[in-house]
Structure 1
């Protein structure tokens, strides 16, 4: 098994942080690459954060409503 870190991406040049609006998956859920993981609001626009890998979501490190900086570790996926 490999550990894949899910980082908050930078969707726009001026983006420095985002707010986790809603997690669409829970710890223990199976996810596939490019599957929606969470809704993130940045600069008044909601974006969908997609899974970077296929595996099991093992940790959620940023909670709903939390502001996080770009490239912050927000979740972990264990691959098969």
Structure 2
């Protein structure tokens, strides 16, 4: 099985980081591409980050309340 590292996407030119507000999925959960994984607050706006791939959420790297840089790993999904 392959693993895909999910990174915090950049939603605007000035966005440098975001705070993990709430995970909508947990380790072991099945996820579909495009399904919301996590709520992130950036620039005082809360957005839902969709899963870039379908598979099983293996690991949450960034915990709720943690601030992470754009393009930093936040989770790992097992695909195929």
1:70 lines up with 2:77 in the alignment: no
Q: Please give the TM-score of this superposition, normalised by the length of structure 1.
A: 0.98
Structure 1 residue 40: deviation in Å? 0.2
The 5 Å alignment of 1:1-80 reads 1-80=1-80
Structure 1 residue 75: deviation in Å? 0.2
SS in 1 for 2:22: strand
Q: Please give the TM-score of this superposition, normalised by the length of structure 2.
A: 0.98
Unaligned runs of 5+ in 2: none
Structure 1 residue 73: deviation in Å? 0.5
Unaligned runs of 5+ in 1: none
Structure 1 residue 70: deviation in Å? 0.3
Runs of 4+ aligned structure 1 residues displaced above 3 Å come to: none
CA deviations on 1:14-45 (whole Å, 9 max, x unpaired) are: 00000000000000000000000000000000
Structure 1: distance between partners of 2:77 and 2:53:
7
